[in-house]
Each structure stands twice: as C-alpha cells, then as structure tokens.
Amino acid sequence: MIEISRRDDTAASPDWTKLGEFYIGIGRGDRVRFTVFRSNPDPTLHRLTADELTKAGPRLIAVLTEPPTKAEEWHPAWRRDPMRPTVESQSRDIIHEATVGQ
C-alpha cells in the first residue's frame, strides 16, 4: 500500500537507481517533477515519485512493473487523475529507454 502522507525516501536508498525525471506544468508557472526509479534487487519493479517542488518533498505516487502486471499500484489520488495517462506514458518511456540501453 502506498502511504498517503509520507515523504518518499527512495532517492536515498541503495536499493533503487534513478532512471530519469520529467516535469509537467500545472498552471500559473508551477510544475511537478516526476522521478522514475528501478529496483536493484528486482529490475522489473519501478517507483514513480512526484515533487511539487515545495518543502513537502517528493511523494511516492506509483509502483510500476515492466512489463505491466496486476501488481502495479497507484496512490489513491492518482488513480483517476486526468494527468495520469501522460505521467504513466512518460514514465514508461524512461523505463523503456533505460532497459534498451542496458
């Protein structure tokens, strides 16, 4: 289960490797940074964090698998968010690029 209010510490963990990041504008000049990580013990497992670039820091919004499986999970607020398809597509592009580059 993805904890709703906990700051994410994936970036500091030796169990995860950062694959890349991208930004999406959310209006009024604000934007969100999305970062994709791959699990070192299980390379099919990925984490996606979102950071609104405030003192709140990054939050885990999804656990993805590549290839996709039923084990994937999205934070409740993101399950029906209109940005989700774009966020998921860009995340999977980063995952695919990292996989092809190996």
pLDDT in tens, 15-69: 999 999 999 998 888 899 999 999 999 999 999 999 988 888 899 999 999 999 9
Q: Is residue 45 part of a domain?
A: yes
Residue written as tokens 């990054």? 58
Q: Is residue 3 part of a domain?
A: no
Both tokens assigned to 52: 């609104």
Pairing of strands 45-51, 30-39: antiparallel
Q: What is the pTM of this model?
A: 0.90
Structural domains counted in the chain: 1
Q: Is residue 39 part of a domain?
A: yes
Both tokens assigned to 75: 């934070």
Q: Is residue 2 part of a domain?
A: no
Which pLDDT score, from 0 to 100, does residue 8 have? 87
Q: Is residue 1 part of a domain?
A: no
7 against 62, higher pLDDT: 62
* Domain boundaries, position 44: 10-100
Q: Is residue 5 part of a domain?
A: no
